[in-house]
Copies of this chain bind each other. A is one copy, B any other.
Amino acid sequence: MPDSLVKDMLSLTASPALFAHLRVNAQRLRADFDQLAEIGATVAGGVSRLALSNEDLEARAWFANRVEDEGFVVRDDDAGNLSGVLHCPNPNAPTLLLGSHLDSVPNGGRYDGAVGVLAGLEVMRVLRDAAQPLPVHVEVIDFTDEEGCWQSLFGSRGLTGQLSAAHVSDANGDNSAFRAALTRAGIRPDDIGRARRDPHSLAGYLELHIEQGTQLERAGCTIGVVTHIVGRSTLKITFNGQAGHSGTTEPEKRRDALQGAALFILRAHTLIRDEYADGIFNCGNITVKPGQFNIIPEQAILTVECRHTAAPVLIEMEAALQYLAQKCADEYALSVGVVRTAHMPAAPMSPRCIQAIEQAAARLNLASAPVVSYAGHDAQMLASFCAAGMIFVPSLGGVSHNPREYTRWEDVTAGANVLLHAALELAFAR
């Protein structure tokens, strides 16, 4: 569409001043939040809605119903992303995306992801109720499998054209459980490449999310303006020794894969803490084979990840961990293999979005601070595709991925109001 035509269209839209008084309805947002939290609710007070599980599918069905009940247009794509759309008068106008994800980690909290989707829906209701023509379509989106039960940021990878059928196949061209889960959810594995959208059709992407850390708590701020999202690599590290009878193998002949793995875990934490001040390391799982009390462990497989906001430093951390794994293996006469199973480069947020969020917070008299996201988010995928920004609200004690995850409702409301006004800022400042 030629710029001249866009300018003409803008004349059809309302003046930004007409929206300045708008605020989200905290009670309406809360009612949605409480209903959604019942889906996949755990006894510990959190939720388990693993991507494409029955609970996730139930949450998606609930969301589609909410969208429809509110009179918005339901939309889905070939990567399973589920949206509600508020159309503006100009059919050729670009779309401003607001969203996050409805899936959770196992035994996770109620806020992570859910807040961003439900706030997006609430912002759309406020804009609809304002009954003033907007210069953009507004779309609230639930991205598929943000948490990586199957594949991290699956939906946002799909929308940005970073998925093909090969992504749901393993080295042998098969990945039957994942493919079956997709198919069951109505997503055709071979068509996921078709989820890509035209970047010019998007006016930007804004995501409200709980911080999952304590930067805001420590700074005494309600609103975090994310400047960049940390890069992340996930590694599978396999130590191989030799099985043997635990009681009868001479100590000097033991080749115990678990001892090598234990040494690596301790040293890796020390290495990253001492040598990479802003680096993060986690070993989240270990599997031992054959795993019997009276057999020396033959194999120990570690799932580890490392994060850093600077892309070259992250690469260096990976190399240092690989070197350390070899050293630990040597101490116990083991062999070791390191495979990178996932990688997400660090992503800076768009200056336009950062400014829009800062201005919205200032206009609402909310204290804001620039923050780094040490967690991955769908905004990371969108960042290389269109203008993307993220708004953080405080997590009590930084607890997250845990049933005790908690954000004060007034902070959720404040975040939703910043989302509303940052969206308007982006919509009109184009």
Contacts and interface: CB of A to CB of B under 8 A. Distances in A.
Nearest to A251: B273
A286 B244 CA distance: 17
A307 interface: yes
Interface string A298-342: 000001110100000000000000000000000000000000000
A189 interface: no
Given A258-B265, A265-B258, A305-B246, A288 B296 contact: no
B280 A284 contact: no
Nearest to A265: B262
Interface stretch (A24-32, A69-77, A129-137, A393-401): A393-401
A244 B282 CA distance: 11
A401 B245 contact: yes
A236 to B, nearest CB: 9
A217 to B, nearest CB: 10
Interface in A206-251: 211-214, 230, 232, 234, 242-251
Contact of A250 (B106, B214, B259, B262): B214
Contacts of A262: 261-263, 265-266
A155 interface: no
A213 to B, nearest CB: 4
A375 B213 CA distance: 50
A271 interface: no
Interface string A330-365: 000000000000000000000000000000000000
A248 B375 CA distance: 6
Nearest to A246: B282
Given A247-B375, A401-B244, A282 B296 contact: yes
A284 B294 contact: yes
A286 B307 contact: no
Nearest to A305: B293
A295 B401 contact: yes
A295 B286 contact: no
B294 A148 contact: yes
A290 B285 CA distance: 8
A391 to B, nearest CB: 16
Top-4 shortest CB links A-B: A246-B282, A213-B248, A212-B248, A262-B262
7 contacts: A213-B247, A242-B399, A246-B401, A247-B280, A253-B397, A261-B262, A284-B295
